[in-house]
């Protein structure tokens, strides 16, 4: 995978994690660490689904460029 594509994927995962953790904390400031970690793990589901989608042309298995 090219460095540019790797950075796009990293940014996508980072955004999803950040939003999930912050929104979980803001919705419930007394949230346990387990709840925050669970929200973070669920958040990465969307980028993973995008990466394995063959119809997604930006990055992942559907992109025209080679993965490695």
Q: pLDDT tens digit string along 5-23? A: 778 778 878 888 888 889 8
Residues 30 and 51: their CA atoms lie apart, in Å, by: 33
**pLDDT, position 30:** 93
Q: Is residue 63 part of a domain?
A: no
Instruction: Domain of residue 37: give its range.
Output: 3-52
Q: Is residue 44 part of a domain?
A: yes
* pLDDT above 90 coverage of the chain, percent: 12
Q: pLDDT tens digit string along 32-61? A: 999 888 888 888 887 788 778 888 776 667
Q: What are phi and psi of 32, to 5 degrees?
A: -75, 165
Q: Is residue 17 part of a domain?
A: yes
- For the chain, the first-to-last Cα distance in angstroms comes to 4
């Amino acid at each position: 995978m090219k460095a540019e594509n790797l950075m796009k994927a990293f940014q996508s995962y980072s955004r999803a994690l950040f939003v999930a953790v912050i929104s979980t904390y803001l919705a419930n400031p007394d949230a346990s660490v387990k709840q925050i970690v669970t929200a973070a793990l669920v958040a990465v589901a969307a980028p993973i689904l995008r990466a394995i989608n063959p119809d997604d042309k930006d990055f992942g298995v559907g992109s025209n460029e080679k993965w490695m």
